[in-house]
Amino acid sequence: MDIGAFMLGSVPFARLLGISFDSIDSGTAVARMPDREDLHNHVGGPHAGALFSLAESASGAAMLSALGDQLSRAVPLATEARIRYVKLARGEVTAEAVLRGERAAIVAELDEGRRPEFEVEVAVRDSAGVVVSEVVVSWTLRPIR
């Protein structure tokens, strides 16, 4: 499955923001958002909501890269997110997401009929490589009954 194409096909808002994926691989993803004036806030950087959407999109791609083969029996759902805005971003921004949790343990919980919960951590960096936001997205896999 082409996870980047799947994400952009199923999440129109990500396309609206111009999000693209640089890499997606086994529990990790790097997403990118262009520097566009229509995405800026009152201080000239990317709007907080746009930064969050970039991070959430990267987290979803990282999650799917590790657990996408479970979609026939479970629906992935983001259940909670925490974001810390560290510094004003300038220019294009990238989000680097990493699944925290072991795939085998997550799948084992699903095998037991439970809803596994796990986190994806995301660092959002500006065009200079400086971390501007730190995000943690909590996910669950809801079994299809």
- pTM (two decimals): 0.95
Whether 37 has a pLDDT exceeding 90, the answer reads yes
Is domain 3-143 classified as CATH 3.20.20.70?
A: no
Whether 119 has a pLDDT exceeding 90, the answer reads yes
CA 116 – CA 138 distance, rounded (Å)? 10
Whether 1 has a pLDDT exceeding 90, the answer reads no
Region 19-37: mean pLDDT is: 97
- What is the chain's mean pLDDT, rounded? 96
The CB density around residue 93, as the number of other CB atoms within 10 Å, is 24
Considering the chain, what percentage of its residues have pLDDT values greater than 90?
99
Considering the chain, what percentage of its residues have pLDDT values greater than 70?
100
Reported residue count of the chain is: 145
